Chains A and B, each alone.
Chain A
Amino acid sequence: MDDTVTRVRTTYRDAMREALREALRRDERVFLMGEDVGRYGGSYAVSKGLLEEFGEERIRDTPLSESGFVGAGIGAALNGTLPIVEVMTCNFSLLALDQIVNNAATIRHMSGGQFSVPIVIRMATGAGRQLAAQHSHSFEGWYAHIPGIRIVAPATLEDARGMLWTALMDPDPVIMFENALLYNLEGELAPDAGAVDIDHASVRRAGDDLTLVTYGGSLGKTLQAADELARNGVNAEVIDLRTLRPLDTVAIFGSLARTHRMVIVDEGWKSGALAAEIMARAMEESFYELDAPIARVCGAEVPIPYARHLEEAAIPQVATIVDAALRTLNKHV
């Protein structure tokens, strides 16, 4: 990247809006629909101003019927458009699970490759906003279970800005999980920031002593934990998965082969979570690289509580990540 170019101060929300705007401008087949995306500007104000700019045909408010409008999006995709469907939070997306699992994910396979569903479904995810159990869960792991769809989790401004277009160009369904705490994330972005790949994990911090694997809303905490570990003389590598299905096992296990120790940070519940899948694959593919048992820092196995202190205790935090890392290294601090 050219250092002489002034980087633009922006937020994750604005970067996402820029991505939507670019997609809508770039291809007439693209349209956005979902609850309150038009007049209200989106529950998280991501699509604010887009209705005025692109009109009601392309920024479409829908009734409160996830199964209905996700199904409509799938139908539209089958008929040659590139729909972006916003589901307010992944908690509500369960109403559309039948459409996603039984239609979007299967039609290419059941039609012998005759039809494809190039839909992008965006949904907010995660806890930390005192919105209680029905608005705070993380279902990335559930969706990552399903063959036939790709799951991405932008955790940085670059990915918020760049993943959408690449996802639209994918001929198959892509679900994008946006951790709601990230919308206010501020930072600098190159003015020419654009499409990024959605195939590879990314090393966000290089290190030799152990590998911290994470994604989405936990990336920031994991990087902070790595800084704290550095103050204790531990040099941690941080891997941002970015794409949760298919997993970039080359990147994950390449790092493990150098560090031999791993902690997985995943806001989802531990049982059957994405973290569990990564551990299982490590056993299958990298057993002889392990110098210590892999540890997980996951969401507590409770519906996410409303009370702030309980909510904080229920999801990964910097201190719990540091603890797990030190235990994995057999260090007492």
Chain B
Amino acid sequence: MPSLGADMDAGTLVEWMVKPGDTVQRGQVVAVVETQKGAIEVEMWQSGTVDKLLVTPGTKVPVGTRLALIATKGEVSATPEPVAAEPAPAAAVTPGPPVAHPEPHPAGARARVSPAARRRAEELKVDIGIVQPAEPGATISLADVERAAAQLQVRPLEAAPPAAAAGDWHAQMRKAIANAMSRSKREVPHYYLSTQIDVSRVSDWLIGENLKRPVASRLLPVVPLMKATALALREVPELNGVWLNGVFRQSSAVHLGMAIAMRGGGLVAPAIHDADRKTPDELMAALRDLVARVRGGRLRSSEMSDPTVTLTNLGEQGVEQVFGVIYPPQVAIVGIGKIVERACVKDGWIAARKVVVATLAADHRVSDGHRGGLFLAALDRLLQEPEKL
């Protein structure tokens, strides 16, 4: 079960899209998983042949649980063959009751649990497999078990149906957002910068570009902003990556998380992969696809788990300036307000110009205001040459 976001602790397998014996390619969607953020398509990281499906649809399992076995090329089936002709067990052994739950932590992925936590989990009858450590990679401690037990009293995990009722589902999404945002405000020392950018040239360019395109493939104003943001991040790479276990891991690729509001409330910020290397048309296509799938509730696992930065555009709602909250473990969020016409002084003349306020909220553990300022300056500069985007 992949982790599809920093605060996901378990997911329900909804359906398998492959069966044993099928050949699968890297990137292929093989299963659908229901999470607090909706149905997510799980992609393969490795090509091979499906050997065995280990989890049946409808089962809720903790993150890290093995879902299936894939045999890579040249590998024989990992399914253990029954051993023949070993000494038979003496007399008849009464079989124990069937195991009701799937193995929470398969061999080879044993969770680090302190002895005291293990004992407490037994006392409280908490399945240690569902207990999450305080931070990724940390050992599960007494406090983690007690917190999990307290949460279970509120919301027994077994009771969660594979497809929750709409109201419940929204409550769960609210909870996921609450967890992520509380953690952000608790742990991440934000600093905020804001600058007004003249987007007259890029607006003119966009009008010209859209005249060349059929209506269905016209570019939205956010597209050049996405591309410029991705390119500016290359110049200030300490805004692009994740903070894990007290260390910043810079990302060489720019996976731009797009904050997308969901119908009925809530939001997700799935990634557009390699946004810095996509053309405006590719970005537009990716964005259109992403929005459609967000609203339809079908996101892919990699989109959910690996954004390296977030872009939030509230201009359409009439917001002039966005003060973003970083989505952990990312270290920056770029905010775009609405494009407005303002009287600007340029070369001693007052002129009506189209401007937008771009903001940056960034993690002060990783970068400083100086570098953040350079990012906004780069964003401004890149937007003055839209034809190069």
Give A114 to B138 CA distance when docked, in angstroms.
58
**Contact status B116-A288, CB under 8 Å:** yes
**Contact status B138-A291, CB under 8 Å:** no
**Contact status A260-B142, CB under 8 Å:** yes
Query: For residue B118, which residues in chain A have a CB less than 8 angstroms away from its CB?
Result: 288
Give A288 to B246 CA distance when docked, in angstroms.
29
B134 within 8 A of A: yes
Give A327 to B173 CA distance when docked, in angstroms.
34
Query: For residue A289, which residues in chain B have a CB less than 8 angstroms away from its CB?
Result: 115-116
Query: B114, B119, B138 — which one has the most chain A CB atoms within 10 A of its CB?
Result: B114
**Contact status B114-A291, CB under 8 Å:** yes
Query: For residue B141, which residues in chain A have a CB less than 8 angstroms away from its CB?
Result: 291-292, 330
Beta-carbon contacts under 8 Å, B130-168 to A: 134, 138-139, 141-142
A26 within 8 A of B: no
Give A332 to B187 CA distance when docked, in angstroms.
12
Give A292 to B115 CA distance when docked, in angstroms.
8
**Contact status B134-A288, CB under 8 Å:** no
Beta-carbon contacts under 8 Å, A287-310 to B: 287-292
Query: For residue B246, which residues in chain A have a CB less than 8 angstroms away from its CB?
Result: 332
Residue of A nearest to B138 (CB): A330
Give A288 to B141 CA distance when docked, in angstroms.
12
Query: For residue A330, which residues in chain B have a CB less than 8 angstroms away from its CB?
Result: 134, 138-139, 141
B361 within 8 A of A: no
**Contact status A287-B139, CB under 8 Å:** no
Query: For residue B134, which residues in chain A have a CB less than 8 angstroms away from its CB?
Result: 330
Give A288 to B115 CA distance when docked, in angstroms.
5
Q: Nearest Cβ distance between residue B160 and chain A, in whole angstroms?
A: 29
Give A330 to B138 CA distance when docked, in angstroms.
8
Give A190 to B139 CA distance when docked, in angstroms.
47
Beta-carbon contacts under 8 Å, B108-129 to A: 114-119
Give A287 to B113 CA distance when docked, in angstroms.
13
Give A306 to B271 CA distance when docked, in angstroms.
60
Q: Nearest Cβ distance between residue A110 and chain B, in whole angstroms?
A: 42
In the complex, per-residue mask of A297-333: 1 if CB is within 8 Å of any chain B CB, else 0: 0000000000000000000000000000000001010
Residue of B nearest to A289 (CB): B116
Query: A289, A291, A330 — which one has the most chain B CB atoms within 10 A of its CB?
Result: A291
Query: For residue B117, which residues in chain A have a CB less than 8 angstroms away from its CB?
Result: 291
Q: Label chain A's interface by main secondary structure.
A: loop
**Contact status B115-A287, CB under 8 Å:** yes
Query: For residue A291, which residues in chain B have a CB less than 8 angstroms away from its CB?
Result: 114-117, 141-142
**Contact status B138-A292, CB under 8 Å:** no
Q: Nearest Cβ distance between residue A210 and chain B, in whole angstroms?
A: 12
Give A292 to B139 CA distance when docked, in angstroms.
8
Give A289 to B116 CA distance when docked, in angstroms.
5
Give A289 to B141 CA distance when docked, in angstroms.
11
Give A291 to B117 CA distance when docked, in angstroms.
6
Give A290 to B112 CA distance when docked, in angstroms.
13
Q: Nearest Cβ distance between residue A106 and chain B, in whole angstroms?
A: 39
Query: For residue B142, which residues in chain A have a CB less than 8 angstroms away from its CB?
Result: 260, 291
Known interface pairs A330-B134, A332-B246; A290-B139 also in contact (CB < 8 Å): no
Q: Nearest Cβ distance between residue A260 and chain B, in whole angstroms?
A: 5
**Contact status B115-A290, CB under 8 Å:** yes
Query: For residue B114, which residues in chain A have a CB less than 8 angstroms away from its CB?
Result: 260, 290-292
Q: Nearest Cβ distance between residue B124 and chain A, in whole angstroms?
A: 14
Give A291 to B221 CA distance when docked, in angstroms.
54
Residue from B119, B138, B139 in contact with A288 in the complex, judged by beta carbons closer than 8 Å: B119
Query: For residue A288, which residues in chain B have a CB less than 8 angstroms away from its CB?
Result: 115-116, 118-119
Q: Nearest Cβ distance between residue A184 and chain B, in whole angstroms?
A: 41
Query: For residue B115, which residues in chain A have a CB less than 8 angstroms away from its CB?
Result: 287-291
Give A291 to B121 CA distance when docked, in angstroms.
12
Give A287 to B118 CA distance when docked, in angstroms.
11
Give A289 to B115 CA distance when docked, in angstroms.
7
Query: For residue A290, which residues in chain B have a CB less than 8 angstroms away from its CB?
Result: 114-116
Residue of B nearest to A329 (CB): B141
In the complex, per-residue mask of A267-295: 1 if CB is within 8 Å of any chain B CB, else 0: 00000000000000000000111111000
In the complex, per-residue mask of B320-357: 1 if CB is within 8 Å of any chain A CB, else 0: 00000000000000000000000000000000000000
Residue of B nearest to A283 (CB): B115
Give A330 to B140 CA distance when docked, in angstroms.
11
Give A311 to B138 CA distance when docked, in angstroms.
35
Query: For residue B116, which residues in chain A have a CB less than 8 angstroms away from its CB?
Result: 260, 288-291
Give A287 to B142 CA distance when docked, in angstroms.
14
Give A292 to B140 CA distance when docked, in angstroms.
9
Q: Nearest Cβ distance between residue A265 and chain B, in whole angstroms?
A: 22
Give A287 to B114 CA distance when docked, in angstroms.
9
Give A289 to B114 CA distance when docked, in angstroms.
9
Query: For residue A287, which residues in chain B have a CB less than 8 angstroms away from its CB?
Result: 115
Residue of A nearest to B142 (CB): A291
Give A291 to B112 CA distance when docked, in angstroms.
11
Q: Nearest Cβ distance between residue B318 and chain A, in whole angstroms?
A: 42
Give A134 to B296 CA distance when docked, in angstroms.
78
Give A296 to B116 CA distance when docked, in angstroms.
20
Give A260 to B117 CA distance when docked, in angstroms.
10
In the complex, per-residue mask of B10-41: 1 if CB is within 8 Å of any chain A CB, else 0: 00000000000000000000000000000000
Query: For residue A260, which residues in chain B have a CB less than 8 angstroms away from its CB?
Result: 114, 116, 142
In the complex, per-residue mask of B237-276: 1 if CB is within 8 Å of any chain A CB, else 0: 0000000001000000000000000000000000000000
Give A270 to B246 CA distance when docked, in angstroms.
29
Give A330 to B137 CA distance when docked, in angstroms.
11
Residue of A nearest to B113 (CB): A291
Residue of A nearest to B135 (CB): A330
Query: For residue A292, which residues in chain B have a CB less than 8 angstroms away from its CB?
Result: 114, 139, 141
Give A260 to B115 CA distance when docked, in angstroms.
10
Residue of B nearest to A292 (CB): B114
Query: A260, A287, A332 — which one has the most chain B CB atoms within 10 A of its CB?
Result: A260
The 5 closest A-B pairs by CB, nearest first: A291-B116, A291-B114, A288-B119, A291-B142, A290-B115
A interface residue numbers (CB < 8 A to B): 260, 287-292, 330, 332
A-B pairs with beta carbons under 8 Å apart, 14 shown: A260-B114, A260-B116, A260-B142, A287-B115, A288-B118, A288-B119, A289-B116, A290-B116, A291-B115, A291-B141, A292-B141, A330-B138, A330-B139, A332-B246
